[in-house]
Every structure is written in structure tokens, then in C-alpha cells.
Copies of this chain bind each other. A is one copy, B any other.
């Protein structure tokens, strides 16, 4: 199993059509799946990305392909959430961004990880 931290990617963007007005864009992917690095069994989750764009918006189809790259990678809950936040902030440099990962039940336990980024002024 390859190391998820080595995913190389490009995510297409487009210019924000309303750069003068702060507003919120949210994309909810309820079909995210990656692999547990210990057991090799798949994990299933819902990833929510919510951001206030500055000059650049993330293209929706490109975002879908970015998520697909995790399908067969081994990565932990906490790590994948922070990695998605790091990657997407790097791509579009938003004013604010939240990433929430909600995972399906494992051993009777349901987990949710929530990480946020706010651009320093």
C-alpha cells in the first residue's frame, strides 16, 4: 500500500466570479473511501469542504478526482482530514476553510474530525 502523503495532484481552479463579496461555498462528498493503514480494510466517510474564496474557486469535477485518489491509499482519520485541508488551502488560498470528515461506524464507534484554517490578515 502506498503512502498517502505521496499523492501528487493538480486541482483545476477558476476565478471567483464575485471577488468583492465574502461568501461561502460548501461541497459535501458522501462517497469518500480510503483504506485503514493497519488492517488494510476500507474506510467510508463523508467529507465536507466549506470555504470563503478569495480570488480563486475550486473546480467541482477536479475536486471529485482529487477525492478519488485516496481510494486505495492507506491513511488515518486524523491525518486525512488535515491533509485535505492543507492541500486545498494550498490550491486556492481562501479567506477561510473548514474540512469535516464523518466516518461510518467501526466497532460500534462513529468518528468525526473537524479542522479549520483562517488566513492571517
Name A's B-contacting residues (CB within 8 A).
16-18, 21, 23-31, 33, 41-42, 44, 57, 60-61, 63-64, 68, 71-72, 76-79, 81-82, 85, 104-117
Contact = CB atoms under 8 A, between A and B. Distances in A.
A116 to B, nearest CB: 7
B115 A21 contact: yes
A115 B16 CA distance: 13
A34 to B, nearest CB: 12
Given A23-B81, A23-B113, A31-B42, 8 more contacts: A21-B82, A21-B115, A23-B116, A27-B109, A28-B109, A31-B44, A42-B71, A44-B108
B104 A108 contact: yes
In the assembly, how many copies of this chain are there?
Answer: 10
15 contacts: A17-B78, A21-B82, A23-B82, A23-B115, A23-B116, A24-B115, A26-B111, A28-B110, A28-B112, A30-B105, A31-B42, A31-B44, A33-B42, A60-B77, A63-B109
